[in-house]
Structure 1
Amino acid sequence: MKIVLDPQIYNMQRYGGISRYYTEIFSLLEKEENIEIITPLNNSTNIYFNNSVLNSFRQKRYGTLIKFFKKIKLDKRLKIYNISKFKFQKTLLKGKFDLFIPTYYDIGFLKYINDKPFVLTVYDMIHELFPQYFVNSEQLVENKLFLIEKADRIIAVSENTKKDILKLYPHINKSKIDVVYHGTSIQIKDSIETILPEKYILFVGTRAIYKNFLFFINSVSELLRKEDGLFLVCAGGGNFTNLENQYILNLGLENKILFKSFADDELGYFYKHAECFVFPSQYEGFGIPILESMACGCPVVLANHSSFPEVAGDAGVYFELNDSNDLANKIAALVCNKSTRECFSSKGIDQAKKFSWQKAALECRAVYEKACNYK
């Protein structure tokens, strides 16, 4: 089975959940018998791709171009990009492949693949469910629906995502949607260069509106004031905005809420040494940080909705969405009780073992073979 992996997500993200997903899955599929992965990518700044076995395919095809890519001027780089794009289109037009995998929702590939099958992965339906949080997302939503309708098969990253697709678009045949969960490859280092407080609550990642960050820090503010040695560490997601800094200042917590950047291989240490990880998001397609936290033995506090119960199972400490008092109480129950923390830490480690990239890759292969009508 020859699979063309669309490079668009690697051109969009330097790092991110979607590009990590495809890198993990296809690095494993490449090892499978009777599978050939074609990645027509000329140059990428994506850290997952560049550090993966997928990069070796690129080197074989475009090694000469890549060798000198960083040494040449921008206008010539653009020419090389256009050459690479042309080669990608030419690869598709030749039709010497069995399956095409789009990595995001650009529909441009459709005019080049003719009648070849393609499998679309849907990561979430957040733009459709929360349009008020996004600007100029109409085209993305339109393209996404078009691809959902045209795809030979669809992979949803959770049962909740599948349910959302069918709720929003009931005309879609539910039998062509397969659910394949994510895995995690997070590692825990013995030490890191970043200095962390001895006792802290952890928040990880971006702080978009639907992530409920301001609601969260307001909820935990009283506990932070009461517990002298307790801090909130916000890992990644960029420096605090002016609005966030002002909100933190108004709460009088400028010395208790800390922003910390981290290298990709340091995140496991952040989870491992936290009192708990709080995931107050209103919605996610899956929620990889939940899985990462559990794998590191860090108890997770999260809302009892969306895809979250699928991921956390009985290892999650659940609060009622948008109930500030309930969230504060659930966090305090972990921070102030070591035996409770240890209980949920153990549950989380066991729950995380149910998920793996190896399992996800095998399930993706089965879906891809269905699309190609392989027996």
Structure 2
Amino acid sequence: MKILVHPQTFNLQKYGGISRYYTEILSRLSKNNKVQIPLYGTSNVYYNESVLVTFKQKLYSLYIKLLEKLKIRGLEKTRKRNDKFFEKTILKKDFDVFIPTYYDVSFLKLIDSKPFVLTIYDMIYELFPHFFEDQQKIISSISANKLLLMESATRIIAVSENTKRDIIKIYPHIDESKIDVVYHGCSIKIVDTHTHNLPEKYILFVGTRANYKNFIFLVNSIKELLKLNNDLVLLCAGGGEFDNEEKEYLKELNLENQIIQREFKDDELGLYYKNAICFVFPSLYEGFGIPVLESMVCGCPVVLAKHSSFPEVAGEAGVYYEAGNPEDLKNKIYSLVQNPILRNEFSIKGSDQVKKFSWEKAAAECLAVYKKAYKTSIKQ
């Protein structure tokens, strides 16, 4: 099968869940299918470390890195070159199915009657617009583009049953029969050669902390637990340094030494999960929630609310608290802190649950959807 891929996500992200998703899927599909990704080069780490990257792209990526070191803005020029390369490639029409990697709609005028398959990662902008008030113009544009693409797509892949339900609930005119659910896999590995000055006893929080990620709710839920256990730490991995507002709040609570933030390299995160008492994911909504899989792969118990996609991903391996109930969240975390037998029980459950997910399975299911889209276009 000939698969043409829009390189948009690789132009936009150096790291990120969407570019990781496409790198994992397309790397596997490229073994038995012709996968075209029209790129001169990209700064995306996942792509550049994958089997997808060509020798010319490697050279170009070195050139981009050199420009970055010299503080020359080469990425904008690269994106423009990539855009021209992409347009030239799509106009040849030498493909069976087209795969947009985000919500750019410019290809619609170039694709003619060729089929395309759109992946929807979540409906966060549509469900919680109040969390993005400072980005209203951008979010409105993305949501409008997403809707147009859903209406025009030959088939749609949703990353969870919950995301599929959200699509249909928000846009009931979208044909439910053209939506397929394909779960993510997990890429995380535990690299024991890394040495880190990790706290001896810590609760783990991963990623960004703003608005719907519900970080302050977590802090308020466990502040008394931390004060009663001076050797216990809340470790925030990634998400950038605490901003001034966060620093001030932690100082007010007198917890600035027990709530800390660390950055990590991509291959270091596994150890953060492995050595944690538990991973807490207090997010109000996730289309899928890859950190849930990451935690389970590393044998770390997962504490989360029973909403959005979480029950699908965590299954019986999740330690669920009542959404919006800080006392219940504190009690669930405390039970894991105090009880190593319970921690081990949920670690084993997580190891079993995560076997249901793999990139090999996801790639095979994506290919089946691509073929379905191609067959539909032939019949028409």
TM normalised by structure 2 equals: 0.93
Distance 1:175 1:275, change over 3 A: same
The size of the alignment, in residue pairs, is 370
Offset at 1:7? 0.7
Question: Does structure 2 retain, via aligned residues, the 8 Å contact 1:301–1:316?
Answer: yes
Offset at 1:144? 0.4
Q: Match of 1:318?
A: 320
Question: Does structure 1 retain, via aligned residues, the 8 Å contact 2:39–2:85?
Answer: no
What are structure 1's unaligned runs of at least 5 residues?
A: none
The answer to whether residue 269 in structure 2 is matched with residue 267 in structure 1 is yes
- Distance in 1, matches of 2:82 and 2:313, equals 39
Q: Match of 1:17?
A: 17
Question: Does structure 1 retain, via aligned residues, the 8 Å contact 2:296–2:350?
Answer: yes
- Distance in 1, matches of 2:263 and 2:64, equals 29
- Distance in 2, matches of 1:77 and 1:356, equals 33
Aligned to 1:4, the other structure's residue is in SS state strand
Q: Match of 1:148?
A: 150
- Distance in 2, matches of 1:207 and 1:130, equals 16
Which amino acid is the alignment partner of residue 355 of structure 1? F
Which amino acid is the alignment partner of residue 95 of structure 1? K
- After superposition, give the CA deviation of every residue in 1:307-333 in whole Å (9 maximum; x if it has no partner): 000000000000111110010000001
Question: Which range moved further: 241-250 or 341-350?
Answer: 241-250
- Distance in 1, matches of 2:279 and 2:29, equals 32
Q: Match of 1:40?
A: 38
Question: Which range moved further: 156-165 or 240-249?
Answer: 240-249
- Distance in 1, matches of 2:156 and 2:352, equals 29
Offset at 1:66? 5.3
Q: Match of 2:284?
A: 282
Matches within 5 A, 1:98-177: 98-134=96-132, 135-136=135-136, 137-177=139-179
Which amino acid is the alignment partner of residue 93 of structure 2? G
Q: Match of 2:232?
A: 230
Q: Match of 1:196?
A: 198
Distance 1:44 1:76, change over 3 A: closer
Question: Does structure 2 retain, via aligned residues, the 8 Å contact 1:191–1:269?
Answer: no
Offset at 1:189? 1.7
Aligned to 2:53, the other structure's residue is in SS state helix
Offset at 1:13? 1.0
Which amino acid is the alignment partner of residue 85 of structure 2? K
- After superposition, give the CA deviation of every residue in 1:36-87 in whole Å (9 maximum; x if it has no partner): 000101221111111111112xx35x57755655557958875554343222
- After superposition, give the CA deviation of every residue in 1:157-190 in whole Å (9 maximum; x if it has no partner): 0000000000000011111000000011211122
Question: Does structure 1 retain, via aligned residues, the 8 Å contact 2:42–2:61?
Answer: no
Q: Match of 2:245?
A: 243
- Distance in 1, matches of 2:45 and 2:225, equals 38
Question: Does structure 1 retain, via aligned residues, the 8 Å contact 2:48–2:58?
Answer: no
Q: Match of 2:258?
A: 256
- Distance in 1, matches of 2:65 and 2:191, equals 32
Offset at 1:248? 1.1
Which amino acid is the alignment partner of residue 351 of structure 1? Q
Aligned to 1:55, the other structure's residue is in SS state coil
Q: Match of 2:182?
A: 180
TM normalised by structure 1 equals: 0.95
- After superposition, give the CA deviation of every residue in 1:247-277 in whole Å (9 maximum; x if it has no partner): 1111110010111111100111000110000
Question: Does structure 1 retain, via aligned residues, the 8 Å contact 2:286–2:309?
Answer: yes
State percent identity of aligned pairs. Answer: 59
Which amino acid is the alignment partner of residue 263 of structure 1? K
Question: Which range moved further: 67-76 or 172-181?
Answer: 67-76
Question: Which range moved further: 64-73 or 83-92?
Answer: 64-73
Distance 1:67 1:329, change over 3 A: closer
What are structure 2's unaligned runs of at least 5 residues?
A: none
Which amino acid is the alignment partner of residue 11 of structure 1? N
Q: Match of 2:3?
A: 3
CA-based RMSD: 1.8
- Distance in 1, matches of 2:264 and 2:80, equals 34
Which amino acid is the alignment partner of residue 47 of structure 2? F
Distance 1:167 1:199, change over 3 A: same
Distance 1:67 1:259, change over 3 A: closer
Question: Does structure 2 retain, via aligned residues, the 8 Å contact 1:194–1:262?
Answer: no
Distance 1:68 1:140, change over 3 A: closer
- Distance in 2, matches of 1:361 and 1:319, equals 33
- Distance in 2, matches of 1:14 and 1:153, equals 28
- After superposition, give the CA deviation of every residue in 1:72-107 in whole Å (9 maximum; x if it has no partner): 795887555434322210111110111110110110
Offset at 1:192? 2.3
The answer to whether residue 302 in structure 2 is matched with residue 300 in structure 1 is yes
Distance 1:268 1:70, change over 3 A: closer
- Distance in 1, matches of 2:267 and 2:161, equals 30
Question: Does structure 1 retain, via aligned residues, the 8 Å contact 2:43–2:61?
Answer: no
- Distance in 1, matches of 2:347 and 2:61, equals 45
